[in-house]
A and B are shown apart, each in its own frame.
Chain A
């Protein structure tokens, strides 16, 4: 079995994001970038499946500017076998990302495609479902547990009401929740080894996918600020404030 894992480079989840003064976006200069957190879970799950003997090869793919390669190198350092970097500058919407991934799936013919359920930059939560639609494959979204069977996956999904279990036939798309597993850290020797693993670079334009944005970003602004609150001395004061000042209890 072959697993394709898609990873995205985003502003690190610990960074307090700041909006640019001109309203064109958020500050990315000199800001720490990392792999989108649930994409790390997707890589980890693929590696675990390979370690269990149920997968032979893991291909990690990223789509983005030159530096996006770092995310593929990181995937290679924790166990992916080879990498693909589809080079494209600027914002690529999930629809275009899924079209690019479709082209790569046509070429690589993986049995499974894994990725995070949502990117923490645009918070779109679309790519996996869109790719599944374009390929007419089943989609197992928000996965917190995956059980690999002979020709199918049993996937536990995190839904608003609790947990749901579905069975999807392979080939399938899985989008991963943060609770799926605990991503491992890359050891230094493995980081060195990863530098020698093959990483193919492809220009998005050569794939014949139109990556032009369909959604115009008119402006980006700071959300309204909450007015500063107060500290109360004790529980009695808290309850009095909630009752008499805020009038919420």
Chain B
């Protein structure tokens, strides 16, 4: 048995969730290899080789891998698949887009979004927006698995020195072409890995009012999240959405402001360690998952909250 993990990166560095996926993958089997497909991505391969749990890095460098088109990735991965019992990657938009294309060509029924490795063939995964947990056993010879990154601790980034083996590119897929990426740059921590997340919902009323949220996020060094309603209404961009079809976050502290708490939103945050809800509707479902609920008008509560935080002198960064 060996596991092949497909690295997610930006050609310069590994994306943080790759480290979480490494932890999960090495629970399946210790013989863990990482495949880095990129363009001018030597640094990425080097970083992958420094992760202590990794036994070998396969590095394929070609311009066709510059923009992570799943169709291009797939042919290269399939060429290496024979040697592995498991092919895994993170269950974020990268892995969700990629893994089923590999699984179908290997005639494997994929196990998506696992939150626990029970054994090499048995996994725990949430279904129905996390309202039920299913224990599932894959009976396919080769297993294709995506890993919910926030359910696993990140693996250490240094201490290892795995060998890096170069390999040839696969065929380029002619019918898909990358056009552009509009990345939203931010100095704040990433939503998926932040220790504190503060999210706004429909109750924020407009994008201007999200400044009340950003002021607190700045103070707490928190990431900013949002409900689907707030994104749909155009208050904030889609990369902030937390929920069943957005991002799943598990911070130490999640502060939900003006969010009623639809099932679909709860699916993305209810595993957070401490949940705070600020909402003027005392009956809002968000209070049912909140450790601390404050029934208040957010337009009064948020400025007070900031003021109280300013009074504290021991804010942890």
Contact = CB atoms under 8 A, between A and B. Distances in A.
Contact of B304 (A213, A217, A230, A235): A235
A13 B263 contact: yes
Contact of B253 (A122, A139, A249): A249
A179 B134 contact: no
A142 B93 contact: yes
Chain B contact residues: over half helix, strand or loop, or mixed?
mixed
Interface string A30-63: 0000000010000000000000000000000000
Chain A contact residues: over half helix, strand or loop, or mixed?
mixed
A207 interface: no
Given A123-B244, A214-B140, A246-B253, A236 B192 contact: no
Given A123-B113, A169-B175, A248-B273, A94 B315 contact: no
Contacts of B196: 248-249
Contact of B312 (A168, A218, A243): A243
Contacts of B107: 95
Interface in B149-208: 173-184, 192, 196
B135 A218 contact: yes
Interface in B288-317: 289-296, 301, 304-305, 308-309, 312, 315-316
B206 to A, nearest CB: 18
A222 to B, nearest CB: 7
Interface stretch (A106-114, A159-167, A186-194, A195-203): A159-167
A26 B180 CA distance: 42
B70 to A, nearest CB: 6
A209 interface: no
Nearest to B78: A133
Nearest to B302: A235
B217 to A, nearest CB: 13
B131 A144 contact: no
Interface in B123-141: 126-140
A203 to B, nearest CB: 21
Given A133-B100, A139-B97, A235 B305 contact: yes
Contacts of B136: 215-218
Nearest to A126: B100
B276 interface: yes
B110 A94 contact: yes
B212 interface: no
Interface residues of B, number: 91
A183 interface: no
Contacts of A168: 175-177
B295 A123 contact: no
Contact of A249 (B138, B176, B247, B315): B315
Contacts of A144: 238
A94 B101 CA distance: 12
A224 to B, nearest CB: 9
Interface in B100-116: 100-105, 107-113
Interface of B: 69-71, 74, 92-94, 96-105, 107-113, 122, 126-140, 173-184, 192, 196, 220, 228, 231-232, 237-239, 244-245, 247, 252-253, 263-264, 270, 273-276, 282, 287, 289-296, 301, 304-305, 308-309, 312, 315-316
Nearest first, the 4 A-B pairs at minimum CB distance are A129-B100, A214-B109, A130-B104, A133-B104
Interface of A: 11, 13-14, 16-17, 19, 26, 38, 93-96, 98, 117-118, 120-134, 137-142, 144, 154, 157-169, 172, 177-179, 213-223, 226, 229-232, 234-236, 238-239, 241-243, 246, 248-249
